[in-house]
Amino acid sequence: MECDEIVALLARHHCMDLTEFLDHSHCSTYPVAHGGLGDVFSGKLVNGIPIAIKTIRGYGDYQNLAGKYQKRAAKEIHTWSKCMHPNVAELLGIAVFRNSLAMISRWEENGNMIRYLAHYPSADRCALSASICAGLTYLHGSNIVHGDLKGANVLVDRDGVPMLTDFGSASLQDDTLQVTRTTTGAVFSIRWTAPEILNGGRHSAIGDVYSLGMTILEAFTGSVPFPEKPDLSILAHILIHKSTPTQPEAIPARSECGDQLWLLLNRCWSHEPAERPSAKIVWEEMKLFTPEKLQEVEDELGRGVE
């Protein structure tokens, strides 16, 4: 299926075709970022609105291989187009961009969560995490599995509001758009991915909750999960040793709610999927935490209480 055919199909399913509204003189020559399915360019619409243009990355035999990615992307686009929530990035439309299928969304100068926290270290990480939970709760309530939740896939708008994006492995549990019966291999980020998925299982809402716990940890520490472990050893640590992260200084045990938050995250990381809370439960509990409740308590001599 060619790009223009996919765009036409998606347009019939209420996705706006923005091909003729791209201002190519203001589109970046090279990618400015990379997503789960392809490359991201910066650009503008003819009305001056800054946009992010997410295209399908081609490798080698582009005609054969990229075509499979395009079909997978069509499902992602249709999934994304159904979403309307303040903590889920809005899909403005679709386009054919430089002979590739592209998804068009607003350009966010703050970038993703990791970049935002590096620039604004005093940001309220409790509120940020609760909003991420709200976005995932909305997706799950819409029968959508994100499939690749991590800090790099959380954009932050000018007001500091986080928005989930890049449904690189998302699935719509009651899909109505038939593009292809062909499936592609799993794509995931192992540091954030639930053990059962690393073992070959399907992406699921409860698998997203494991990733949610890792993303909340990432929000508090500013680091990827298991930062002390090299990539090659992560699978063994998770699948064989059933390792979970070590409690960081950013979530101090010697605080009013540090242990309570850490217990919540460990429930998200249970190796028994049935023992994990739902995204909604995590959201409800996260709303109870504040930066003040996570400040380390000192004794009368000014030392941290053991």
C-alpha 263 chain-centroid distance: 23
Instruction: Considering only residues 9 and 182, tell me which one the structure prediction assigns the higher pLDDT.
Output: 9
The pTM for the full model equals: 0.86
Tell me, what's the pLDDT at 181?
A: 30
Over residues 58-75, the pLDDT tens digits come to 543 445 545 665 666 677
- Section 105-124 average pLDDT: 96
Instruction: Considering only residues 65 and 144, tell me which one the structure prediction assigns the higher pLDDT.
Output: 144
Q: Percentage of the chain surpassing pLDDT 90?
A: 67
Q: Percentage of the chain surpassing pLDDT 70?
A: 83
Tell me, what's the pLDDT at 78?
A: 78
Continuous H helices in 188-305? 195-198, 205-221, 231-235, 258-268, 279-286
Mean pLDDT score across all residues of the chain: 86
pLDDT at 211 over 80: yes
- Amino acid symbol at 110: N
Domain ranges of the chain: 3-106, 113-294
Q: Which CATH superfamily is domain 3-106 in?
A: Phosphorylase Kinase; domain 1 (3.30.200.20)
305, two tokens: 């209480």
Q: At 288, which helix (H) or strand (E)?
A: none
For 273, other C-beta atoms within 10 Å of its C-beta total: 17
From CA 237, how far away is CA 279, in angstroms rounded?
A: 25
- Section 149-165 average pLDDT: 96
Let me know if 293 is exposed, middle or buried by CB neighbors in 10 A (0-12, 13-18, 19+). Answer: middle
CATH number of 113-294: 1.10.510.10
Tell me, what's the pLDDT at 270?
A: 98
